[in-house]
Structure 1
Amino acid sequence: MRPTSRPDTRAMTDQIQRFLFDNTNVRGELVSLEQAYAEVLDRHDYPAPVNRLLGELVAAVALLTDTVKLEGTLSLEVRGSGPLSLLMAESNPGGELRAIARLAEDAEMPSEDAGFRELLGDGQIMITLDPREGHRYQGIVALDQESLAGCLAAYFAQSEQLPTRLWLAADGRRAGGLLLQRMPDESQNQDVDAWERTLHLAETVKAEELTGLAPEELLHRLYHEETVRVFAPKPLRFGCTCSRERIAGALVTLGAEELRDVVAEQGGIETQCHFCHTRYAFSAEEVEALLAESSTPPPTLH
């Protein structure tokens, strides 16, 4: 693979790009994030090491969504016992991404160079696939590796899915990721060493290359001696799926007694989306209407 011109390494766009190695059963994805990552961070005030790990999570959820070809929502939820108690990122086929982090109550601020295990300690990652049609699927993997990418690779290995490896990086301004996957079809594989060779080359990638090089240039650096077929990139952007209806549905689950107590104290209910900080207000009358609607049984069909 030889690019026809040298890309501008400063011109990073928010995109994900699929590629494959001809005559092999190895495929890959490359993700580059800048504006969408910035919009996630602009809505919150996290410590620098949390910003970096959140960027890795956003890159990972974009890679996995495109890899599984899910017509629905994919989310990654990381819960830990360290100063960082929660990380969550969500993506959908429309290329919309959102993410949040939550520090444990009374947690000491992590050091500037805190890593994955220092931030999270023990815990687990929950991977949820929520298709528009069909059943929701959830998988869980322990936080027993030294990186987010290592934990996700362990998930693929333990769940007997396709062999998959990830490389993730973020620096507070840009985030990037690389995914390689070995497909099950051996009929088109004319290169039995392709998987091990492409993995070995991917292991040489540096964090600053994942965040600082344009995708085409990064592929050229890693695989200039391979025959790589690169597909058109798909744009990515920050996007929140919150709505007044979804917030109302969440409020109802708190129960009538708790909602009425809040209304009695405050005269109504005001809340906001954790992801985008959009505020939603409900008057006392609107709360009662929600409770009445939720207690009304569905019509009986005859």
Structure 2
Amino acid sequence: MSDFSQRFLFDDFDVRGEMVALDASYRHVLAKHPYPEPVAQLLGELLAAAALLLGTLKFDGLLVLQARSSGAVPLLMVECSSDGELRGIARYHAAQIGDAGSLRELMPEGVLAITIDPAQGQRYQGIVALDGDNLASCLSAYFATSEQLPTRFWLNADGRRARGLLLQQLPADRQKGAEEREASWQHVVTLADTLNAEELLGLDNETLLYRLYHEEAVRLFDPRALHFRCSCSRDRSARALISLGQEDVEKLLEEQGGSVVIDCQFCNQRYAFDAADVAQLFAGGGVQPASDTRH
């Protein structure tokens, strides 16, 4: 299994952790577009962050991370479903990339919207200011200033692999005293801060945990599979056309030479609808091709 998340728990502290490894899914995302190295790295870190955040949630639905800025990278977007399906995309201005590599240089005045869209229940959104040195520090600061459980992130990506580590303090159980809980939390965080990028990207989970916490009692749980999958479909494309209205879609048909083509920006899949398809859609006949000719 090359793409997975894996939970771990400290037996003596009220702290849990999560590790994420993305190989095939990360490369699949990068294969869809020719991203410059700094953009590819940033997109990999956001993919790993989404998978880590998914591990902190218990819901059936979709987690969306969308970052916007006024700089060289105006958009980063990652979606992760409760089934472990990932997809992501970035928009960038090649002429502005240059030697820029840091988050602040690539995404000045940036903000990250974290949206939890459950299949049932109320939608939730949080806003993270991208004013830190890197994405991990921004996410850690967001949790530190919110009323949620203290949470720290470590993220790295190199264009081939994306890795992430999360630590989260749990409600008082094993340790009741506030000072004792704080000391344990600072202890595990301080050790995690000694990790460098090569270790996070290159070590397997068992070795990494031993490297950090060989003096502690740590339980490592079974991994959970993650994989690339785009949620686009002909049906969703058809519903998008229906939402425009028949008159506007027929105008598009005329303007585009008799065929409306919807391109998925995430996976480059194309869905074409000709005049017969459009007539069938608005007659309530469904989304299956109505004609023999496909584009």
How does the TM-score come out when normalised to structure 2? 0.89
Mapped pair 1:99 → 2:85: no
CA–CA distance in structure 2, aligned partners of residues 57 and 275 of structure 1: 15
Output the amino acid matched with 1:173: R
1:24 partnered with 2:13: yes
Structure 2 letter corresponding to 1:198: V
What's the secondary structure of 2:74's corresponding residue?
A: strand
Query: Which residues of 2 match residues 30-45 of structure 1 at below 5 A?
Result: 30-45=19-34
Equivalent pairs, count: 280
Shift of 1:26: 0.4
| 1:1-302 matches, cutoff 5 A | 13-104=2-93, 108-112=95-99, 114-184=101-171, 186-189=172-175, 192=181, 193-265=183-255, 266-291=257-282, 293=284
Cα RMSD between the aligned structures? Answer: 1.8
Equivalent residues of 1:78, 1:88 under 8 A apart: yes
CA distance in 2, matches of 1:70, 1:140: 20
Could you say which residue in structure 2 is the equivalent of 1:5? none
Spell out, residue by residue over 1:71-128, the C-alpha distance to the aligned partner (whole angstroms, 9 max, x if none).
2110100001101110011111222111000124xx5241355211111111210101
Structure 2: distance between partners of 1:257 and 1:165: 51
For the residue of structure 2 that corresponds to 1:253, the secondary structure is helix
Question: Can you list the C-alpha shifts for 1:32-67, whole angstroms capped at 9, x where unaligned?
Answer: 111111101011111111000000000000000111
1:152 & 1:287 partners in 2: Cα distance? 45
CA contact (8 A) 1:47 1:109 kept: no
For 2:198 and 2:248, locate their aligned partners in 1 and report how far apart those are by CA, in whole Å.
49
The one-letter code matched in structure 1 to 2:210 is: H
Q: For residue 24 of structure 1, what is the amino acid of its counterpart?
A: F
Contact 2:261 2:272 in 1 (8 A): yes
CA–CA distance in 1 between the matches of 2:39 and 2:272?
30
Q: Which amino acid aligns with 2:23?
A: E
Residue 261 of structure 2 contacts residue 273 of structure 2 at CA under 8 Å; is this kept in 1?
A: yes
* Distance in 2 of aligned mates of 1:113 and 1:200: 29
Q: Distance in 2 between the 1:80 and 1:274 partners?
A: 19
> What SS is found at the alignment partner of 2:174?
coil
Post-superposition offset of 1:21: 0.6
Distance 1:85 1:259 in 2: 29
Aligned to 1:297: none
Give, in whole Å, the separation in 2 of the partners of 1:256 and 1:140: 37
CA contact 1:152–1:166 (8 Å) conserved in 2: yes
For residue 252 of structure 1, report the CA deviation from its aligned partner.
Answer: 3.1
Is the contact made by 1:130 and 1:137 (CA closer than 8 Å) also made in structure 2?
yes
Uncovered stretches (5+) of structure 2, i.e. residues with no partner: 286-295
Q: Which moved more, 1:112-121 or 1:58-67?
A: 112-121
Separation in structure 2 between the aligned mates of residue 213 and residue 78 of structure 1, nearest angstrom: 29
Uncovered stretches (5+) of structure 1, i.e. residues with no partner: 1-11, 295-302
Report the equivalent of 1:6.
none
What is the CA-CA distance between 1:275 and the residue it aligns to?
Answer: 1.0
**Matched residue type, 1:226:** E
Identity of aligned residues (%): 53
Contact 1:66 1:93 in 2 (8 A): no
Matching residue's letter, 2:66: E
